[in-house]
Structure 1
Amino acid sequence: MNAPATTARDTMAQNEQQKGSSNNNARRHNEGHGRRLTAAFEALEAFPALAESRNRLIRLVTQERVSSGDVVAAVESDVALVISVLRLGNQVEGKSRGRVESVVQSVELLSPEAVHALATRARTFDFFERSSVWEAAPERFRLHGVATQRAAERIAQETGYEHRDRLMVTALLHDIGKLVLMHAYPGYPGQVHQGARTPEERIHRERRELGVDHALVGGVLARRWGLPKSVASIIERHHSEDATGEAAFVRLADMLAHYAQGGSVSPQELLKCARVIGLGPAELRTVMYDLPYPVTGRTRQVDPCPLSSREVEVLKRLAEGKVYKQIALELNLSTSTVRTHLHNIYGKLGAVDRAQAVLIATERGWL
């Protein structure tokens, strides 16, 4: 006896059943992704600082005379310390709560005792004492982060970018999403990237294989940490092909860091991104040439300057080797007034002579 013919209604029912099964599989797949990412977000709460970075910070904040500039530099050299200091700074009650975009702002808000307590509690990683959880990931991650930070600083110097303090944070933290994916997917990055060479190729592989990319995940993580939307947005957009503003700065710095470390980058993408922030081929060549060398230029002003604007003008001319009469003539002052200004400058800086006054002011970024 022949089986009854399949009716249109039966076919529709089978299709609906298959569709429902497919939707259930997709839902379970997405839920699996969600659980993996949530667990990874939680694991990042324990991301360690480099032991040397932590120890240097502790030494600095326990000195008799604490330099805010030195503390900022020590914090900015380490991913975990930047995260901890920013999170704590954004929790301080007041108008700046949730709006602290830089380590400079956080250090101004926090006491040396608070920074010391934070550093003392920090988990640490030492290259010679491997952790079974992170292996060498913290060190590799820091090396690329600092290289990107250096490249960003050089670009900022070339373009005169004004939000340098925030850029030091976004450049260092731009790849925090990779730490999440590394913890969530054991095959990341090797199996996911599968021989992709440039940053653009790797980001496309992530989107194809995982449905997300590390930039997007990094933005989510930054928001979970309570960092300002401005910082999270830059991290989230730093691989966007239409990135503008600081996201474009970080994207270019990331590519230049890969270039400086011997990685592959697309010349076309480099030029395209550079033009977005106002750099032409000639300026870009200069930046690329300078990358292997230490960044030079004006020291960042971190500590509040105790000098008045007139005192700064006098000290600038003193640094140029000018004598009292020349300074008085240029500033339309009497010689005795110049002497009075210099006496006040020495007192405010704790300097014994002009050479020490110039040195202190230069090191602090006031000249």
Structure 2
Amino acid sequence: MNPPTLTASPTPSAAASAEPGFPRHHNEGHGRRLTAAFEALEAFPVLAESRNRVLRLFTQERPPTAEIVAAVESDVALAIATLRLANRVDGRARGRVDSVVKAVSVLSPAAVQALASRARTFDFFERGGIWEGTPERFRLHGVATQRAADRLATELGYEDRDRLMVTALLHDIGKLVLSHAYPGYPRQVHGDAKTPEERIHRERRELGVDHALVGGVLARRWGLPKAIASTIERHHSEDADGEAALVRLADMLAHYGHGDPVSPSEMLSTARLVGIGPAELRSVMYDLPYSSNGNRQRALDPCPLSTRETEVLKRLGQGKVYKQIAHELELSTSTVRTHLHNIYGKLGAVDRAQAVLIATERGWI
């Protein structure tokens, strides 16, 4: 499906258009600016430390999938590159890869390593080029929103957590477009607007579009799944529901965590839309400074072990000996040994310690 076309929109108001970086005449270069910005984002850089962390993982003989996913999920450009490539792979998953977890599975860890190796990078201490400090500022808010969304997913028992992690990280990609298209963005457009709602209204008034709409168009141009593009496009809509409302609430919580102004009434009403009441919301807000994406293990690959084998290995990881395990599971000691032999073979482990480590890293026990 071709991405929707942005029609020519009114140029910024007279006050804004008098500033450098904004078109001075009606529709003058507006579409060209956005198109050029879309193209410029093809070269949006990876944070150097993000690239280095990914590559360091591959110095291990068996880099943990969970750590590869976490490293990619923490960087905007890496997540975009991984998802775009995975969605171009021929097969049933083409155009349907909506999470980094699925992308790593489709591409293989080696392909992710190659992507990271080729990536152009940005370093806070060696800034330069067209983006200056934008990548780091953008990443900080994206990761903060991602962490808030992760905490909300825990509160709600949200099933599509892996996709939510991506949409939360990328929810503001439209701001990258606007900041490249209009050098005065965001300061000259937002003016004295304080809350996210006030700023989005300023964008619509001054530019004729807003960053959420532009972000949705960009996601479609990149070939990302409709669910991601739609959530990005709608995350500031007053009638947002489902995942879009979750990302909207996570965005507010991220701003709150930064000490930025947010509207209490808007936050409460959005929380109610996703099924979170005031008491639960207060708990989430309290936890935000302590939340981390690494707090919970995620089962990233199908577990090759049977239910009984998993129960045996879990008890082995608790330090129990064969006789204890046999007694608890009502098995003979020889049967426990047989299960462990099968476990080692399925996991490629040489001993119990390695078996427990592999299964723990992959979230199976």
TM norm structure 2: 0.87
Deviation, 1:71, is 1.3
**C-alpha displacement at 1:200, in angstroms?**
0.7
Distance in structure 2 (CA, Å) of the matches to 1:113 and 1:266: 45
Greater Cα shift, 322-331 or 248-257: 322-331
Which residue type is aligned with residue 365 of structure 1?
G
Kindly indicate whether residue 242 of structure 2 is the aligned counterpart of residue 248 of structure 1. no
- Counterpart of 2:271 in structure 1 is 274
Residue aligning to 1:23: none
Shift in Å, 1:67: 2.3
Moved more, 119-128 or 175-184: 119-128
Per-residue deviation at 1:298? Answer: 3.2
Correspondent of 2:335 among 337, 352, 359: 337
Q: Which residue of 2 aligns with 1:306?
A: 304
| CA offsets 1:241-299 (integer angstroms, 9 cap, x no match) | 11111111111111111111111111111111111111111111111111111436530
Q: CA deviation at 1:360?
A: 3.3
Contact 1:182 1:188 in 2 (8 A): yes
Instruction: Give me the whole-angstrom Cα distance separating, in 2, the residues matched to 1:121 and 1:320.
Output: 42
- Partner of 2:285 in structure 1? 288
In the TM superposition, residue 303 of structure 1 has moved relative to its aligned partner by 3.5
Match status 1:151 vs 2:148: yes
Asked if residue 94 in structure 1 is aligned to residue 94 in structure 2, the reply is: no
Q: How far apart are the structure 1 equivalents of 2:316 and 2:240?
A: 45
Q: Is the CA contact 2:167–2:247 (under 8 Å) kept in the aligned structure 1?
A: yes
2:64–2:361 contact (8 Å) kept in structure 1: no
User: 2: CA distance between counterparts of 1:189 and 1:311?
Assistant: 56
User: What letter corresponds to residue 343 of structure 2 in structure 1?
Assistant: I
Q: Please give the per-residue CA displacement for 1:8-31, whole angstroms capped at 9, x wherever unaligned.
A: xxxxxxxxxxxxxxxxxxxx7346
2:197 match: 200
Preserved contact between residue 69 and residue 303 of structure 1 (Cα < 8 Å): no
Partner Cα distance (1:232, 1:175) in 2: 11
Give, in whole Å, the separation in 1 of the partners of 2:328 and 2:74.
41
Alignment gaps of 5+ in structure 2:
1-24
Aligned residue number for residue 19 of structure 1: none
2:18 alignment partner in structure 1: none
Aligned residue for 1:66, secondary structure, equals: coil
One-letter amino acid of the structure 1 residue matched with residue 46 of structure 2: A
Q: Which residue of 2 aligns with 1:221?
A: 218
Q: 2:33 aligns with which of 25, 32, 36?
A: 36
Task: Give, in whole Å, the separation in 1 of the partners of 2:60 and 2:260.
Answer: 41
- Taking a change above 3 Å as real, the CA distance of residues 113 and 363 of structure 1, as seen in their structure-2 partners, is closer
Which one-letter code corresponds to 1:308 in the other structure? S
Structure 1 counterpart of 2:314: 316
108-117 or 166-175: bigger deviation: 108-117
Give, in whole Å, the separation in 1 of the partners of 2:318 and 2:275: 33
Indicate which of 70, 75, 85 corresponds to 2:67.
70
TM-aligned CA deviation for residue 323 of structure 1: 5.0
TM-score (norm 1): 0.87
CA distance in 1, matches of 2:238, 2:319: 50
Distance 1:219 1:31 in 2: 23
CA contact 1:218–1:232 (8 Å) conserved in 2: yes
- Which protein, 1 or 2, shows the higher relative CO under an 8 Å CA cutoff with sep ≥ 6? 2
Q: Which residue of 2 aligns with 1:181?
A: 178
Question: How far apart in 2 are the matches of 1:275 and 1:329?
Answer: 48
Unaligned ranges ≥5, structure 1: 1-27
Question: Separation in 2 of the partners of 1:96 and 1:30?
Answer: 40
> Could you say what secondary structure the match of 2:252 adopts?
helix
Instruction: Give the total of aligned pairs.
Output: 341
Distance in 1 (CA, whole Å) between partners of 2:112 and 2:360 is: 25
Aligned equivalents of 2:247, 2:217: Cα separation in 1: 17
Residue 355 of structure 1, CA deviation: 5.0
1:107 aligns with 104
Q: Aligned letter for 1:316?
A: K
Structure 1 window deviating more from structure 2 (112-121 vs 222-231): it is 112-121
